[in-house]
Chains A and B, each alone.
Chain A
Amino acid sequence: MAIKRTSSNSLVNATKMSTGFSSAAIPNSPTIGSATAISDVAATVAYTAAVLGANGVTFTATSSPSSITGTGSSPITVTGLTASTSYTFSVTAGNANGTSAASSASNSITTSDLPTSYESIATVTVGSGGSSTVSFTSIPQTYKHLQIRAFARNTSTGNDVFSLLRFNGSSASAYATHYLIGTGSATASGFNGPSVTDMFSIVTWGSGSSMNSNVFSAGIIDILDYTSTTKNKTVRTLTGVDGNGMGQIDLTSGLWLASPVAVTQIDLLVQSNNYAEYSSFALYGIKGA
């Protein structure tokens, strides 16, 4: 702070004196207020202008780290921050004559996590007794699409068996599936329909087959526009299992032909058998804009 001697030989704060009476002065430093994170990329910073420093002055909030700035009146919004990152802020006041010293640092804030449109809803893991059916009930109606990620094996004595997929507990003859299979040596395509009691989805192999019992199939089931009350529901699956000499890779396209209603329940079943221990099924929701 500059000090000067007056004609009366008293010492005064030159900056403060000139701020009030001269256009050639630099404003005083603001007093920092609270900083608040408002999103994954933005925060607000409050301040109080010095009594003799508010007129014709631009106030700038600066982040630490990264020196990202925002200007305006209190509270200043600072954008362009990084998600999940901690910041403090200081505020300066500037005019045509220069910029004040920075205020003290604000409280520390942390920006929120990066928003995502993909959320985990529920998981079912099959216990030692096995399970004939895996169900997701009371499915939230707040997403655009659903995805089930499966890792499974069955307890049958046979080889490949498709899991069966049903909606809303309905076993009415209102499902159909087209599928494409690669066996490792040939390809095949088939149709299960036009009006059967379930859709084909992920493939599983049986514990009684010659495939090693540590081999589980993988499957990803996408259920599109599941809350629509005007469209039949379509389902696609990518699924496969490889047992070093046996197995298959499959694509399916399923349709629920019932009078269009929102999907509130999903049932996965193994044909006449159980899902084996350690099979797991995770349901995810994908948001729309």
Chain B
Amino acid sequence: MAAGSTYTPIATTTLSSNQSSVTFNSLSGYTDLIIVSNSKNNTGSNYYLTAQFNSDTGSNYSSTRFQGDGSAAASTRYTNATEAKIGYTYTTDFTLGIFQIQNYSNSTTYKTCLSRSNNASQIVMAIVSTWRNTNAITSIDLKMEASAQIVAGSTFTLYGILAA
């Protein structure tokens, strides 16, 4: 078996001001992508951090999540959505997220993503999302729900993993 080094940092963004979105492109050359985020939103409410691929704003996404908030566990499904759910964000403190986009460049299957979202004072969550499109993913737009903004200081790092 031949081994090759991978888990390559591709890009990092740290917001210097509130932004409505963060975009990653130039994604080619890997098998899987991973985005590690540390973010919160600028509203008084709790919102999902979401992803759209290849600028597709159609109702072509769906997600299933489960979560524990310290008192109960629950599971929720979102169908025919206009974005993939990544994780829950708050205004009081930052939420850590790891978003895994597997086999993102194949042109045969829909794309499946896994994410973990952790906010020690609020919630622990896991989500699976599907983009119903067989095209290779060439760009990723990260946004908050409901036009909320991503606050200054939020960080997003994109990694690529290349299988042997």
Q: Are A245 and B6 in contact (CB under 8 A)?
A: no
Q: Are A245 and B109 in contact (CB under 8 A)?
A: no
Interface residues of B in 57-75 (CB under 8 A from A): 62-67, 73-75
Q: Are B128 and A240 in contact (CB under 8 A)?
A: yes
Count of B interface residues, CB-CB < 8 Å:
46
Tell me the A residues contacting B by CB distance below 8 Å. 113-123, 138-140, 149, 151, 180-187, 212, 214-220, 238-245, 247-249, 251, 278, 280, 282, 284-285
In the complex, what distance in Å separates the CA atom of A114 from the CA atom of B128? 32
Q: Is B134 an interface residue (CB 8 A)?
A: yes
Determine, out of B11-19, B76-84, B89-97, the stretch whose residues face the partner at the interface.
Answer: B76-84
Q: Are A220 and B77 in contact (CB under 8 A)?
A: no
Q: Are A242 and B129 in contact (CB under 8 A)?
A: yes
- Which residue of chain A is the closest to B32 with respect to CB atoms? A149
Per-position 1/0 for B81-114, Cβ under 8 A of A? 0000000000000000000101100101110111
Contact of B112 (CB < 8 Å), options: A116, A138, A215: A215
Q: Are A242 and B3 in contact (CB under 8 A)?
A: no
Residues on the B chain within 8 Å of A114, using CB: 9
Q: Is B120 an interface residue (CB 8 A)?
A: no
Known contacts: A182-B64, A238-B126, A244-B79. The answer to whether A116 contacts B7 by CB under 8 A is: yes
Known contacts: A115-B5, A182-B65, A282-B163. The answer to whether A215 contacts B110 by CB under 8 A is: yes
Contact of B75 (CB < 8 Å), options: A115, A215, A249, A278: A249
Residues on the B chain within 8 Å of A119, using CB: 3-6
Residues on the B chain within 8 Å of A186, using CB: 75
Q: Are B7 and A218 in contact (CB under 8 A)?
A: no
The minimal Cβ–Cβ distance linking A229 to chain B, given in whole angstroms, is 21
The minimal Cβ–Cβ distance linking B162 to chain A, given in whole angstroms, is 6
Q: Are B126 and A240 in contact (CB under 8 A)?
A: yes
Contact of A113 (CB < 8 Å), options: B5, B116, B129: B5
Q: Are A218 and B100 in contact (CB under 8 A)?
A: yes
Q: Are A116 and B75 in contact (CB under 8 A)?
A: no
Q: Is B161 an interface residue (CB 8 A)?
A: yes
Q: Which of A140, A218, A280 has the most CB of B within 10 A?
A: A218
The minimal Cβ–Cβ distance linking B32 to chain A, given in whole angstroms, is 6
Known contacts: A182-B64, A245-B62, A247-B128. The answer to whether A216 contacts B3 by CB under 8 A is: no
Q: Is B127 an interface residue (CB 8 A)?
A: yes
Supplied contacts A123-B164, A182-B73, 16 more A-B pairs, CB within 8 Å: A115-B5, A119-B6, A138-B1, A149-B161, A151-B109, A182-B75, A187-B74, A214-B132, A216-B109, A238-B116, A238-B126, A247-B130, A248-B64, A249-B128, A282-B32, A284-B6
Known contacts: A184-B75, A187-B73, A285-B3. The answer to whether A216 contacts B112 by CB under 8 A is: yes
Q: Are A249 and B127 in contact (CB under 8 A)?
A: yes
Residues on the A chain within 8 Å of B163, using CB: 120, 123, 149, 280, 282, 284
Contact of A149 (CB < 8 Å), options: B8, B73, B80, B102: B102
Q: Is B31 an interface residue (CB 8 A)?
A: yes
- Which residue of chain B is the closest to A187 with respect to CB atoms? B73
Contact of B1 (CB < 8 Å), options: A121, A242, A243: A121
The minimal Cβ–Cβ distance linking A198 to chain B, given in whole angstroms, is 22
Known contacts: A121-B1, A216-B109, A284-B6. The answer to whether A249 contacts B66 by CB under 8 A is: yes
- Which residue of chain B is the closest to A286 with respect to CB atoms? B7
A and B contact pairs by CB, cutoff 8 A, 13 listed: A118-B161, A119-B6, A138-B1, A140-B3, A182-B66, A187-B74, A212-B110, A214-B109, A214-B110, A215-B112, A217-B128, A220-B114, A282-B161
Residues on the A chain within 8 Å of B134, using CB: 214
In the complex, what distance in Å separates the CA atom of A117 from the CA atom of B7? 8
Q: Are B128 and A242 in contact (CB under 8 A)?
A: yes
Residues on the B chain within 8 Å of A140, using CB: 1, 3
Contact of B64 (CB < 8 Å), options: A122, A220, A238, A247: A247
Residues on the A chain within 8 Å of B80, using CB: 244
Q: Are A216 and B7 in contact (CB under 8 A)?
A: no
In the complex, what distance in Å separates the CA atom of A153 from the CA atom of B1? 25
